[in-house]
Structure 1
Amino acid sequence: MQLPESIFVILLLIALSAFFSLAELSLAASRRLRLRQLAVDGDMRADRILKLQEAPGDYFTVVQVGQNAVAILGGIVGEGALTPTLSRLFALWTSSSNAQTLGFVCSFLVITSLFILFADLFPKRLGMAEPERWAVRVLVPMLWCMRLFKPVVWLYAKTADLIFKLLGIDTVRDERITSDDILAMTEAGARAGLLAASEQQVIANVFELDSRTVASAMTQRDRIAFFLQDDPDTVVRARIAEEPFSTYPVCDGDIDHVIGYVDAKDLFQRVLNNQTLSLKDDQLVHKVLIVPDRLTLAEVLDQFRQVHEDFAVIVNEYSLVVGVVTLNDVMSTVMGDLVGPDDEEQIVRRDENSWLIDGVTPIEDVLRALDLDELPHDEEYETLAGFLMVMLRRVPRRTDSVNFGGYKFEVLDVDSYRIDQVMVSRLKDAGGGTPSPAAPSET
C-alpha cells in the first residue's frame, strides 16, 4: 500500500474511532429530561435513546468492539505506512539500525497522538457539550452497526452478563431523581445565570418543608393576639384596632384553652352591619385545627389540605399553646425575600461583617445568612435563641456571647427571659470561616 493510500486509511480509521467515541459519550451524558422533551416535541429518535439508556449493554458492546478493532487496525496500518518512510529519512543522518528504531518510535507517537486528539479527546468533548443533539444524530448508524455485529455483540454481552452476575453487580441504571439532584441542577443553573438566585432559593425552600418543623414558621406564644370568650364588644373592637390580624384564637380563661377562632372578615362584616360582637356565637367562632409542635411544615400543609383550613394552633407535648401558624406563614417561608416586607425582616445585615438577628429566627435561615454548614447540637433547638441557650447551658443575659465558626453571637436585648436581638459579628482572626470549637463567654 502506497503512502497516500495508507494516510487515507489512517484518517478513515480515526474518523470511525471518533464516531464510536462520540456515540458512547453522547448516550451516557444525555439527560433524560431533555430527551423526554425532545420526544414530546415529536423526535422519535429521542424516545429510542431513552430505551437504549435503560438497557445500554448491546450499544456499548458495539462501541467497544468498534473502537478496539479500529485502534488495532490503525496501529498496523500506521506502522506499515510511516515506519519505512521515516526510517529512510533518519538514515540520512544516522546508522540503519538507529534509523529503524527512530522510525518506529516516531511512527508510534504520530499515530497515537492522532488517535488521542481526533478520535478520543475531540469527539468526547463535543459529546459532552451537546450530548442529546449528537445522540440522536448517531442513532441510526449505531443501530445499523448493532444489526451488523449482532452475533459478536451477543457473544460478548452474554459473557459480560455472566461476569457481572458472578460478581453480584447490578447492571440496571438507577434513574430515580432525588431532591439533591434537583437542587444541584438549580444551583448550577443559578451559577450559570439561567436561574435567578431568589428563584433558586425558593426551590431549595420547597425541599426544606420536609425537614423544617412548624416552630420555625409560627408566630410565638407571646406575640399571639387572642380573645377570651367572655370579652365584651368594646374589648373585641379595641383589640382589632390595636392588633389587626386576619385570624384570632378564642380562648376560655387563658391562652392554653383554645376553643376556636374568629375570622377578621366576619368581625368586620358585623361591625359594618352595626351588629354586636359576641364571641359566644357559634356562627362566629369556628372550630380550630390543633397541631403538635414537632410536625414539619410539609405535614402542616397536608393537614391544612385535609380540613380545608389555613390557620392552626400549635401545642407542645404538655398541651400548652406555643404558637399559631397560617398558610401564609408557610408560603412566606417558601417564598423568602420575594414576599417578606422589610419591616418584618428577622435578619438585618448591618455591614459586611455584622448582622442583627431576631432571637426567634429559624436556625436554617441563620445558617444560610452566615454561610455556615451547621451549628453544634442542632437537633436540640429550632431558633437562634435556642442555640445560645444550649451553648451557654442557661438562660442568656444581656452581653452574653458565644464564638463559633468564625463568628461571635452576642445577646443585645432580653425581654422577660426572651432573647429579642442578637448581634452576630465576623471575628477578625476567622481566616476563612472554618468552624472552630464553640467558646461561650460572659461579660
Structure 2
Amino acid sequence: GVMLLASKSLTRFVNNHPTVVVLCLSFLLMIGLSLIAEGFGFHIPKGYLYAAIGFSILIELFNQIARRNFLKSQSNRPMRERTAEAIQRLMGGKRQSQNEDEPAGDVLPAGETFAEEERHMITGVLTLASRTLRSVMTPRTEISWVDCEKSPAEIRSQLLDTPHSLFPICRHSLDDVIGVVRAKDLLVALENGENIVAFAEKTPPIVVPETMDVINLLAVLRKAKGRLVVVSNEFGVIQGLVTPLDVLEAIAGEFPDEDETPDVIADGESWIAKGGTDLHLLQQILDVNTLVSTDDDFASLAGLLLSKSGQMPVAGEVIEMASLRFEILDLSEYRIERVRITRLKSENDWEQEQ
C-alpha cells in the first residue's frame, strides 16, 4: 500500500532528477555483488557498503543543489541571451587543419558546418542586442564636421579633400550641431551662394542618448533614411555618430574608408591594433572570448588596457591578461594609439617547439 501511494511521487521525482536513477542502479549493483560474494563464502564488511552509499548520497545532494542554483540563475537571464550562447557553443569548435595533400578551396573540414567568416557574421548578429552604442559608433575624435563660420572656399576644400558623403554642420564646436547635410548638396548650395546655416537647418540632426541599445537604434536609422545619427551623453556633449554602415561593420567586420586603415593588422605572429579597436572585433580576430564582459563600461582596446593598468600607461609598457600580451607602442597625449598583441606560449607550445 505504501508503494502504491508513493509511486506517483517517486515517478515524478525520478523524471525530474535522472541522475538519481544512475545512483539507485549503482546501489543495486553494489548490493547484488555483495550478496553474490557472500553466496560464494566471501564476507564483505557492511561498513564498506554503507560508507560508499553514504558518500554517494552526499555527493548527489551537492549535485542537486548545484543544479538547482544553475537553473535558477539561468531562468533569470533573457531567453534570447541563452539561445545566443547555445548557438555560439555549437559554432565554437576549432577548425580542423587540412592535410598538406588536400586541395585548397572552400571545402570545410569534416563536422564543420560554418566557415570562419560565416561564424563571425552569425556571432555578430547574436551579440548585436547586447552591444552598446559606444561599441559601434564613430567616436568624437574621428568625426569630420564642417564649421559654418569658415569661408565658402575653406568649406569647399574640406569637402573635396574628405571622402565622406555626410557632414554635421556646426557652429564653432561639434557640440553645437545645426544640421546634417550631404556633401554634394552642400557643394551645390555653395555654388549657388546660399546661406550655409539656413541650408543646414532644413535637415536638423537626429540625436540619441548613448544609453540606447543597438536594436532600438535600428528603428531610428530606418526613420533617418540614410542620414547619420548623433550620439550624446546626459550632459548634451556629443560622443560620436552612427551610420547604417557602422551597424553592418558590427556584424560583418570592417569596411575602411579611403582615408582609414584597418584597426587590426597582422604582423607575423603578432597583431598591431589601434587603441580605439572594438573589443568584439578584436575577439573575433584573435579567436578568444575573454575580452568582453557585460559588466564593463568600456568598449575599446584602450579602455580595456586603462582599466587593467589603473593608470595611464607609458610607451613600451607591457600588460598581460589571460593568454595575451599587450605592448603599448604609441601614445598621443592622453590616448593610446597603437598596441602590439602577442599570444603567450603555453607549456604545450614550448614542448612542441623543443
TM-score, normalized by the shorter chain, greater than 0.5 = yes
CA deviation vs aligned residue, 1:85-128 (integer Å, no higher than 9, x gap): xxxxxxxxxxxxxxxxxxxxxxxxxxxxxxxxxxxxxxxxxxxx
Q: 1:266 to 1:215 in 2, by over 3 A?
A: same
Pair 1:401-2:306 in alignment: no
- Asked if the contact 2:280/2:292 (under 8 Å) is kept, the reply is no
Match of 2:235 in 1: 318
Q: 1:307 to 1:375 in 2, by over 3 A?
A: closer
Q: 1:376 to 1:267 in 2, by over 3 A?
A: closer
CA distance in 1, matches of 2:316, 2:158: 35
Match of 1:225 in 2: 144
Match of 2:120 in 1: 201
The structure 2 residue matched to 1:246, chosen from 165, 170, 184, is 165
CA deviation vs aligned residue, 1:408-434 (integer Å, no higher than 9, x gap): 11111111211110111223457579x
- Asked if the contact 2:275/2:337 (under 8 Å) is kept, the reply is yes
Pair 1:298-2:203 in alignment: no
Taking structure 1 as the reference length, the TM-score comes to 0.52
- Asked if the contact 1:372/1:405 (under 8 Å) is kept, the reply is no
Q: 1:283 to 1:390 in 2, by over 3 A?
A: closer
The structure 2 residue matched to 1:212, chosen from 92, 112, 131, is 131
Pair 1:287-2:192 in alignment: no
CA distance in 1, matches of 2:330, 2:289: 27
Give the letter for the 2:148 counterpart: Q
CA distance in 2, matches of 1:365, 1:336: 7
Number of aligned pairs?
255
Match of 1:16 in 2: none
CA apart distance, 1:308 = 3.6
368-377 vs 175-184, which moves further: 175-184
CA distance in 2, matches of 1:220, 1:203: 25
Q: Which structure has the larger Rg over C-alpha atoms?
A: 1
Match of 1:372 in 2: 288
Unaligned runs of 5+ in 1: 1-174, 434-443
- Asked if the contact 1:315/1:322 (under 8 Å) is kept, the reply is yes
CA distance in 1, matches of 2:92, 2:346: 30
SS of alignment partner, residue 372 of structure 1 = coil
- Asked if the contact 1:413/1:422 (under 8 Å) is kept, the reply is yes
Match of 1:417 in 2: 334
CA distance in 2, matches of 1:291, 1:222: 18
Q: 1:432 to 1:325 in 2, by over 3 A?
A: farther
SS of alignment partner, residue 398 of structure 1 = coil
CA distance in 2, matches of 1:373, 1:187: 10
- Asked if the contact 2:275/2:301 (under 8 Å) is kept, the reply is yes
CA distance in 1, matches of 2:152, 2:290: 50
CA distance in 1, matches of 2:305, 2:207: 29
CA distance in 2, matches of 1:364, 1:423: 17
CA distance in 2, matches of 1:340, 1:214: 19
CA apart distance, 1:388 = 1.2
Match of 2:84 in 1: 179
- Asked if the contact 2:178/2:197 (under 8 Å) is kept, the reply is no
CA apart distance, 1:332 = 1.9
Q: 1:207 to 1:301 in 2, by over 3 A?
A: same
After TM superposition, the structure 1 = structure 2 runs for residues 31-180 of structure 1, keeping only pairs within 5 Å, are: 178-180=83-85
Give the letter for the 2:284 counterpart: R
Give the letter for the 1:312 counterpart: V
Match of 1:335 in 2: 252
CA distance in 2, matches of 1:258, 1:376: 33
CA apart distance, 1:186 = 5.4
- Asked if the contact 1:233/1:278 (under 8 Å) is kept, the reply is no
Q: 1:279 to 1:269 in 2, by over 3 A?
A: closer
Pair 1:262-2:181 in alignment: yes
CA deviation vs aligned residue, 1:323-368 (integer Å, no higher than 9, x gap): 111111111221215x55796311111122x110110011122222
Match of 1:72 in 2: none
- Asked if the contact 1:228/1:254 (under 8 Å) is kept, the reply is yes
CA distance in 2, matches of 1:379, 1:230: 40
CA distance in 1, matches of 2:149, 2:193: 13
- Asked if the contact 1:202/1:334 (under 8 Å) is kept, the reply is yes
Give the letter for the 2:139 counterpart: Q
CA deviation vs aligned residue, 1:233-292 (integer Å, no higher than 9, x gap): 112102112323111111123111212111113124446xx3236322246751111112
CA distance in 1, matches of 2:346, 2:90: 35
Fraction of identical pairs, as percent: 27
- Asked if the contact 1:332/1:340 (under 8 Å) is kept, the reply is no
Give the letter for the 2:203 counterpart: H
Taking structure 2 as the reference length, the TM-score comes to 0.64
Pair 1:346-2:263 in alignment: yes
CA apart distance, 1:318 = 2.1
CA distance in 1, matches of 2:90, 2:292: 29
SS of alignment partner, residue 345 of structure 1 = coil
Alignment root-mean-square deviation, CA: 3.1
CA distance in 2, matches of 1:206, 1:294: 20
CA distance in 2, matches of 1:371, 1:334: 16
The structure 2 residue matched to 1:388, chosen from 299, 305, 329, is 305
Give the letter for the 1:235 counterpart: E
The structure 1 residue matched to 2:272, chosen from 346, 356, 378, is 356
CA deviation vs aligned residue, 1:142-189 (integer Å, no higher than 9, x gap): xxxxxxxxxxxxxxxxxxxxxxxxxxxxxxxxx999334544555679
- Asked if the contact 1:380/1:390 (under 8 Å) is kept, the reply is no
CA distance in 2, matches of 1:374, 1:363: 10
